[in-house]
Chains A and B, each alone.
Chain A
């Protein structure tokens, strides 16, 4: 029996109704809990606004992400790295970047070539701008990384501009750059100010910009490499195609 279809028969009508009622009950309980709670909301916004001058940036969400709750962001970058490894994008598990199936051109397409040639530079510029403006206005490392990854996905479909990501150390270095830079910054800050992830307030803006730049590269690389891993097929299967 096909593992992906294990239990492939849909649950019977009775089971589905029971499930629907159960999920409705869960949703109702959650809704009731939300409606009856909620005291003390809104204090955090005032606290963040009060601490904003000390954080090194002017945008509260960036300050929270990269300074006040920097530990969570560091772990998030580590999660991205773990996913890049687990999808076999590195470590040569199954789908490294340069294999015959990937080098085969999608289909020679002058339309895609010209689209990529004209659009990708603007996308990269937009990503760089989003990274820079994150300190003053909505933006930041994750949005910039996602835009650059989207540019990579677009370039993937043009045979002339498809990015080559061989499974060698430069690729791995870029993938690990985000979490690694964050961890290094945390340890350096520990040595400097005695507080783990406590940036010196006078230069906090530059620290945050450096960490965000590393995070942008890392996020873009992980997203594109994971997309590539999901796109490519397993060469060891027999039979179809």
Chain B
């Protein structure tokens, strides 16, 4: 007989799932209208690719070294960031095809190669130049973190991209790649949900997607109004969490420990 564990987590996940489904349905029906605020880092993608077009230099994209399936499938958060990064890569490759700009992707985990290949090929197709694809675009360097970092740094130094995208679950290589990108004069757009790398990315890059801005990137760039409903659902959940935190803090001040009552 099945027994349910992690009831609290299940309740929150179920709430978010229902909120996402309902809000997508309501937006599709026209009952709900959603607007998303401007995200500077995502708006800058067009400018970055335009810069690469004018300078005749390539665009570099990497998601970093985290998230290998080989690491045991356990890096669930890294996997989510890679999926989010693919949303950005899809748009970047579409623009590269539109403006006939060379795209270079360096990857650390070979199992992401089909993901990259497919995303870029479809992006090129959408951009109207499927013939731009060649197997040199996606370069697997090494599954080891700093071997990959050394290779990616060398790639950036040699190819001198005009735009450097460091989007996804980056670890310690974030600052190294960002500095090399700066040294070759690239405009740098980064994004990560890992708080331990955000300070380096914010300091070293021109634009940074912080935390959930990365997860909203795919929806934002697709300009799909229906999917904006899911962003609304996220924000609704956050509002409820804020209300809960505020109420629990007030109750704790009055001597009622809500977390303990809930079994925490």
To the question of whether A and B form a pair in one complex, the answer is: no
